[in-house]
Structure 1
């Protein structure tokens, strides 16, 4: 198995995350302390490693959300 760089979180959802109205696809990497919520954002938005459709945040397959990130 190949080692990941220290700043890339492991596959799955890290510790102390808050996830509200979101779909997390397989093999996504979400770091510790990430907050994911569509509150206060456009109902349709493309942001590279995530997007929002009809008020639902979608983190696509193999996406990387670094620790401490707020969506």
Structure 2
């Protein structure tokens, strides 16, 4: 049996995290590709995270925070 889909509250929180990542990326004058390169990801992964379509591991969020030079708490 497949896992249950995330609740609406979880989806909203995921989108909010993606919005904060996008805002920090734009503030740093980076493209998705630039952030991906700095964080060791591919551009599609950054896009999925920013759109709220992916649920990244904590390690991925830490890599993104380091790449953006912002505290992790500012993203989550």
Task: Identify the structure with the greater helix proportion.
Answer: 2
TM over 0.5: no
TM-score (norm 1): 0.30
Higher share of residues assigned strand:
1
TM-score (norm 2): 0.29
